[in-house]
Amino acid sequence: MPCFVPFSNRNLDISFFVFRPVGLFSDELIEALKYFSFCCEDHGCTYSSVFKSIHGNLVIWYGAWLKRSNEKKKQLTATLISALANISNLAVLMDYGFFESYAGESKDGHPAAKFSSGDTISMCSMLPCSDDLSDLSYACLAVLKSCFLKMEGVSAGVCFRCHDRPRVACLHVWKSLHSCYAWFLSSNYRKTLSPFLDHLYVDIKYDVFRVVYVSSDDTLNLRVFPPSPTLANGEAVKRGGESGV
């Protein structure tokens, strides 16, 4: 089964944790995050996945959770950060947070973005000029609605708003890495789309990722951790600066 990112926040909360591997430990980090996904199921995580940057050095853990109150989301975040202390020797936690999906499109009409291990995902994150997300959120929605059907090789796109800090993010699932590159090399982005967005954000980060794991994968390699640790223990993980999501 594939992993899903919903187009609305009606039934699920979604979270992203962004890591920068320490040294050459990206493979060990990915194995550790697989085990982290396994543990998160006991806390209401219904779908999870790991993305690895193709050209950079970021690794992202994505989780979709059963809906809960804002207070319980804060408690869950604290629990997850505590658990991630177990991998502080493998990576620096650059950023994290809960997001809400507020818009999405798919070529197959499904109300969620679907992806599996091996798929290509592009993501961008924008920091607005003010604490008010409405203008930037609307602009990203308008760009998605006006461009999606013209984007060859894309299967789905989603827009997010962050609960924890002013930030807007977008995710696209591509049929191949070639399709992703072809679109960005051939599209007239700077001339047609930049004028709608440039005056609304002060910082933008962009990256292309390979999906290296989804929670429905049959094989779970537990080399990094023994089966005994729980998500309830651990100290706060080392945190770095802001990241691309």
Q: What is the per-residue pLDDT for 45?
A: 95
- Tens-digit pLDDT profile for the chain (245 aa)? 789 999 998 889 999 999 999 977 689 999 999 999 999 999 999 999 999 999 889 999 999 999 999 999 999 999 999 999 989 899 999 999 999 999 999 999 999 999 999 999 999 999 888 878 888 899 899 889 888 988 899 999 999 999 888 899 999 999 999 999 988 887 766 666 677 788 888 888 889 999 999 998 754 444 444 433 434 443 334 444 444 45
The domains located in the chain, with CATH, are 3-214 (3.30.70.100)
In degrees, rounded to 5, the angle at the alpha carbon of residue 203 between the alpha carbons of residues 202 and 208 is 155
Take residue 81 and report the two structure tokens written for it. Answer: 């950060």
Q: What is the per-residue pLDDT for 218?
A: 54
